[in-house]
A = this chain, B = another copy of it.
Amino acid sequence: MHESLDLSQQECETLLRSGVVGRLALSTPDGPHVIPINYSVVDDAIIVRTSPYSLLGTYGRDSTLAFEIDQFDHEYHRGWSVVARGRAEFVTDPAELEHIRAVWQPHPWAAGARGMHLRLAWDELTGRRLGAAGNPVAELRIRRAL
């Protein structure tokens, strides 16, 4: 049995800024939901796109969300995860939307209208390494050009 170790804030942030897909958890009157979604970190916030008619468009606004990324290596029984939590809000300011588009024109993998940008500026960022020793940042399978 291996240790579970906390990642440093710097490691968490590097991993978060390197990712392209994660999972967003939100609370609804019907209980929690978890939604896999393309994302990017723009400045100091996670940005995702959604439609106003989606669950996320309906319940994700002005509420606390949890966003998770991870990578698991089943062969070696190890992996890491990073969770960012904070209050999310829709981006409505035209200058900010222009900046987001300039930094990251989002390319969702699935078709559909996703005209709304949701911004999650995290105030909690935690990460853990699970299982056998490894260096999460060095072993990233995919990495944004930073």
The proximity string for A residues 111-146 relative to B, scoring 1 for CB distances below 8 Å and 0 otherwise, is 110000000000000001011000000000110000
Residues of A within 8 A of B (CB): 1-4, 20-21, 23, 25-27, 30-34, 36, 63-68, 70, 72, 74, 77-79, 81, 83, 85, 107, 109-112, 128, 130-131, 141-142
Return 23 A-B CB contacts under 8 Å, by A number.
A1-B110, A1-B111, A2-B111, A4-B109, A4-B112, A21-B72, A23-B23, A23-B25, A23-B70, A25-B66, A27-B32, A30-B64, A31-B85, A32-B64, A32-B65, A33-B66, A33-B83, A36-B81, A74-B141, A78-B109, A109-B130, A109-B131, A110-B130
